[in-house]
Amino acid sequence: MRIYIPVTANDVLRVVAGEVLTPSRGYAATEELLESYSLTTDEEEIAEYVAMSLAAHASRVMQQSELIRRIVVAADVSNVRPVETADAGVVDFLDEVRLSDIASVHADNTAILATSVDSRRLDDASELLWWAVQEIDTFVATLDEKDEKHG
């Protein structure tokens, strides 16, 4: 199952260095998410986008700042359990996530982030950029001290 995991810059750096993301919470296009957003099974791509957006918001909350870049890792995992007491789409992944499990990384555009810092607010509705796992080194090169300090 494809899940979307809210992470920090340091989480990404650790995975690239060979460490793992430990079992935690993520977001997925679950049946509950489809029902909650009135989506059909034919609209799975939209459901995946919703799950990624929920993870992006969780990344912001986790970092406790509207001025820090939202970062989401998309990973393919097999051991996932929906969280019944949480919002639709919330899942616990029960296995470690390695770099080989990651399909892509999604993050705020630093140019938009710089503009938002001037206005002291980053809109959750802004689109995230996308890096395939083969491009993760390119993503890492976009990280700066501020990203790492808050991760």
β pairing state of 80-82 and 90-93: antiparallel
| CA distances, 87 to each of 22, 47, 63 (Å) | 22, 14, 20
Radius of gyration of the chain (CA): 15
pLDDT at 119: 44
**Residue 133, exposed/middle/buried by CB under 10 A (0-12, 13-18, 19+)?**
middle
pLDDT at 64: 72
pLDDT at 118: 47
pTM score, two decimals? 0.87
pLDDT at 16: 95
pLDDT at 140: 92
pLDDT at 69: 81
Q: Which residues of the chain have pLDDT under 50?
A: 117-121
